[in-house]
Structure 1
């Protein structure tokens, strides 16, 4: 039930993101261009969720913001899952010095205060390495790369623990004694048992990445306007909470739905293990 509900929530958000251009054509508004004559309009047929402080349609900005926020969350989670699984399997497989070195690196990453370091990295001048700021694609790539730096650690520890547990079992020892290759042992016995905890961690990582992107964008260090993300929509509305609360309520509710959907998916996957 939880898995189905979570998937339904995420599928609805993803469908809304995919249909954003069609909604824009239907409503006939440009969600990126200011219209100062339409500032803070209430919900109506022309603006189903009202308008923001610059007269831009909130529904369209939510849908386009879903494209950015969900893309950042999914890309970060997948990148962290691939990198973390590879590191965790390598540590468990090789043992000894490689295992100790990789796990001490993971411990060092966990010891760092994540939010201050993320803020420092997000504030760095990426133009020096050929990634101009303010362009949608470069901003997304920058945020995904920064979040992946911290996101792989938890996945790596889970993958290592699951791999060590499998490698110590009798059937794996028997397979090796019968002459099974290391590749066969890895693909046939280790990978399927590692997949379940990694899938749970990946679902939770999507929620964490969405929250982290929203935090950085809220602080003005993430996705730059006029491109919409749920975080910078909240940032633009922070001074209007009492005079125009809808501009803050809708992106906050979207973040809540996305995080709740990811959490329900993770709980459902954990229950089906």
Structure 2
């Protein structure tokens, strides 16, 4: 093994450590990471500890205040709000993460193709501009109204609406990722290591997979964190408008929609799911800020 290889190995192996060290000094990012981890653990393992059925109705305990048995009280039908928030968190986070993955795939694919192939740049960017110019919320409402009943009959009321919401959020959230990735690819394809690979006849597909994509991971990861937050907010907005999941399938947005008519009587029905949405979105945004700073070589090199 050459001396050059021996010198490069510690640098490569220390990259992840440098990123973590830079991320760790960002107080907001660390606080966001702790809060988001606690929320994820709560929605995953909480129903195993607090075993109350979120759909169980006890009319004698309707609109009950918080107690040991019902830490967040009950709704107008006697259902446990804490159990509903935990169950709703599973759905909201699943929608956010799945829609984010779809948006990242579309955005990275279009961004790489537009940045690397000059003949595709114009058409793909005009296609991206078209989506950016669309009024997204009215478009989402129209798509849901057109295809909701069909998917419910094909996959069931919960699964069908889940696929529909994930799909429409994913296909309307990829544009910023595409533009960021395209800009990075335009700069990367003129770098020496890419020109050298091209000069020896390396196929474009291999150059993209081995040299381009690994170097655009940073903006993709930052877009991923922000994409989760945006997807959760969008799903909550759709559910709040009554166009999301059915009433017996709680999400944080659906709980807000169901509790708005009882705001003066039991404000905790709106407070707890609203707090869950706010903490999740805020923590994810802070994680994204920390990742952006940690993955920035100029900041990391200070």
Question: 8 Å contact 1:134–1:224 — kept in the other structure?
Answer: no
Secondary structure at the aligned position of 1:19 is classed as helix
Runs of 5+ unmatched residues, structure 2? 1-26, 296-302
TM-score, normalised via structure 1 length: 0.93
Map 1:198-213 onto structure 2 (within 5 A): 198-213=220-235
1:134–1:248 CA distance, 2 compared to 1 (3 A): farther
Q: How does 1:23-172 map to 2 (within 5 A)?
A: 23-25=49-51, 29-96=52-119, 98-128=120-150, 132=154, 135-172=157-194
Which of 233, 249, 262 does residue 227 from structure 1 map onto?
249
Question: Which residue in 2 is equivalent to 1:272?
Answer: 294
CA 260–153 in structure 1, closer or farther in 2 if over 3 Å, else same: same
* Structure 1 unaligned residues grouped into runs of 5+: none
Partner of 1:80: helix, strand, or coil? helix
For normalisation by structure 2, the TM-score amounts to 0.84
Please give the per-residue CA displacement for 1:12-33, whole angstroms capped at 9, x wherever unaligned.
Answer: 11111111431342xxx32113
1:21 to 23, 39, 47: 47
SS in 1 for 2:172: helix
User: CA separation in 2, counterparts of 1:92 and 1:10?
Assistant: 34
**Structure exhibiting the larger radius of gyration computed from Cα positions:** 2
Preserved CA contact (<8 Å) 2:151 2:160: no
Given candidates 162, 174, 196, the residue that maps to 2:196 is 174
* 2-structure distance, mates of 1:133, 1:51: 31
Return the alpha-carbon distance in structure 2 between the equivalents of residues 83 and 131 of structure 1. Answer: 28
**Structure 1 vs Structure 2 CA RMSD:** 1.7
Aligned partners of 2:151 and 2:161 also within 8 Å: no
Cα distance in 1 between the residues matched to 2:256 and 2:156:
18
